[in-house]
Amino acid sequence: MTDSAVEQSVQDDLHDDVAAPAERMRPRVVLGVSGGIAAYKSCELLRRFTESGHDVTVVPTAAALEFVGAPTWAALSGKPVATDVWTGVEQVPHVRIGQSADLVVVAPATADLIAKAAHGLADDLLTNTLLTARCPIVFAPAMHTEMWEHPATVTNVATLRERGVLVIEPAEGRLTGKDTGKGRLPEPAEIFDVCLDVLSRGATGPDLAGRQVVVSAGGTREYLDPVRFLGNRSSGLQGYALARTAAARGAEVTLVAANVTLPDPAGVKVVSVSTTAELRDAVVSAAASADAVVMAAAPADFRPTAVSGDKIKKAADGSAPAIELVQNPDILKEISHTRAHPGQVIVGFAAETGDDTGSVLELARAKLARKGCDVLVVNDVSGGAVFGSPENEAVILATDGSATQVARGTKASLAHAIWDQVARRLT
Ligand X SMILES: Cc1cc2nc3c(=O)[nH]c(=O)nc-3n(C[C@H](O)[C@H](O)[C@H](O)COP(=O)(O)O)c2cc1C
Residue 180 interacting with ligand X (CB under 6 A): no
CB of 34 to ligand X, least distance (A): 3
Q: How far apart are CA 333 and CA 99, in angstroms?
A: 49
The site that binds ligand X (CB under 6 A) totals a number of residues, namely 16
Q: How far apart are CA 175 and CA 152, in angstroms?
A: 20
In the shown chain, the binding pattern of residues 121 to 160 toward ligand X, with x for contact by CB under 6 A and - for none, equals: ---------------------xx---x-------------
CB of 108 to ligand X, least distance (A): 6
Task: Name which of 16 and 84 has its Cβ closer to ligand X.
Answer: 84
Task: Name which of 61 and 259 has its Cβ closer to ligand X.
Answer: 61
| Of 189, 197, 187, nearest in space to 244 by CA | 197
How far lies 113's CA from each of 31, 123, 293, in Å?
Answer: 14, 11, 34
CB of 177 to ligand X, least distance (A): 9
Among 110, 212, 220, 275, binds ligand X (CB under 6 A): 110
| Of 211, 384, 383, 194, nearest in space to 298 by CA | 384
Among 9, 17, 37, 145, binds ligand X (CB under 6 A): 37
Whether 128 is catalytic: no
| Of 153, 136, 154, 157, nearest in space to 248 by CA | 136
How far lies 327's CA from each of 5, 217, 302, 365, 416, in Å?
Answer: 72, 20, 4, 22, 33
Task: Give Cα 383 to chain centroid, integer Å.
Answer: 29
End-to-end CA distance of the chain: 54
CB of 59 to ligand X, least distance (A): 11
Under 8 Å between Cβ of 232 and 304: no
Residue 35 interacting with ligand X (CB under 6 A): yes
Among 27, 32, 36, 265, binds ligand X (CB under 6 A): 36
Task: Name which of 72 and 216 has its Cβ closer to ligand X.
Answer: 72
Q: How far apart are CA 195 and CA 136, in angstroms?
A: 9
Residue 57 interacting with ligand X (CB under 6 A): no
Task: Name which of 126 and 279 has its Cβ closer to ligand X.
Answer: 126
Active-site residues: which are they?
A: 232
- Would you tell me which residues interact with ligand X (CB under 6 A)? 34-38, 61, 63-64, 110-113, 142-143, 147, 176
